[in-house]
Copies of this chain bind each other. A is one copy, B any other.
């Protein structure tokens, strides 16, 4: 029998699932808008039926080993989504046990960035690493810290919130209610805020002056930077400064061998990697300098969330 894990990814816009082989190959992927489901129960019922349907079509040489779920504000210990601000389902939602009841498969749940870290360890470029950090640069900044070969979940299951460490206590307002979180600078939304600030702060000509500021996206800034637009390059440099500085402080705590960047902003390549590395090295304590690799995640962009979620099954 060949074993498969089911990976379920829950995002603010879409949910998707797929069957993942022990080698990381994704079969039978399906995706649908999360807003279709007013309650978590209706989502679980629908997805369980879809899963049963896909399983019945599988070749009989396959066997399902379990379900892994990656979700915003997901807590591994409770198996629940806890008070996720970006989902319509409110409060404490014990999704892992709901799926277990509904499908009969053992089910695990954690947050997206932790799932990505486990995915990197099981399927990606961290297979041989015992100490590394996974940073997901999307609308926000997520992170998963692995030490001694194990994900750091912490006392309450919410460890790994580098995006909500405070870079500047007098800095930008964050959705979390505090000011100056790393996520308000080093995310896709943060980089847009920086661009708007720099367009008034600096006098250089910029392609971005032609843009509709209300619709300015990180992609626009990326495109301008590719054309060597000075303001856009300054924006990337500053974003790398905030991220590199924060990584230097995090390195002093867990001393990883490598840091993996994943997600939209990581795809900007050298534009983000070069300044991040430069400032990270600048602010590192001597004993850590030139020791920590800054790498792009080895997970395949499109299936990473499903693969990461599925990896939970093999990790336990």
* Residue in B152, B248, B291 whose CB lies within 8 Å of A147: B152
Contact B153 A148 (CB under 8 A): yes
- The answer to whether A254 and B166 touch (CB under 8 A), given A285-B176, A285-B178, A287-B158, is no
Any B CB within 8 A of the CB of A214: no
Contacts of A253 in B (CB 8 A): 143, 145, 152, 159-162, 165, 250, 253-254
* Residue in B165, B176, B291 whose CB lies within 8 Å of A249: B165
**Which chain B residue shows the least CB distance to A279?**
B169
Contacts of A165 in B (CB 8 A): 249, 252-253
* Residue in B131, B154, B176, B292 whose CB lies within 8 Å of A256: B154
Q: When chains A and B are docked, how far (Å) is the Cα of A79 from the Cα of B249?
A: 25
- The answer to whether A255 and B131 touch (CB under 8 A), given A164-B285, A169-B283, is no
Chain A 130-155, CB-CB to B under 8 Å as 1, else 0, gives 11000000000001010110101111
Q: Interface on chain A toward B: helix, strand, loop, or mixed SS?
A: loop
Any B CB within 8 A of the CB of A238: no
Any B CB within 8 A of the CB of A257: yes
A120 to chain B: closest CB distance in Å? 15
Number of interface residues of A (CB under 8 A): 43
* Residue in B152, B176, B248, B292 whose CB lies within 8 Å of A254: B152
A295 to chain B: closest CB distance in Å? 14
- The answer to whether A156 and B283 touch (CB under 8 A), given A245-B166, A249-B165, is no
Most buried by B among A152, A178, A257, A285: A285
* Apart from A161-B252, A178-B285, 13 more pairs, CB < 8 Å: A131-B155, A148-B150, A152-B254, A153-B255, A154-B254, A154-B255, A156-B287, A156-B288, A157-B255, A158-B288, A161-B285, A166-B249, A178-B283
Binding site for B on A (CB under 8 A): 82, 130-131, 143, 145, 147-148, 150, 152-162, 164-166, 169, 176-178, 245, 248-250, 252-257, 283, 285-288, 291-292
Which 3 pairs from chain A and chain B are nearest by CB? A154-B255, A159-B255, A155-B257
> Can you offer 10 A-B residue contacts whose CB atoms are under 8 A?
A131-B155, A147-B154, A152-B253, A154-B255, A155-B257, A156-B291, A160-B253, A161-B285, A162-B253, A169-B245
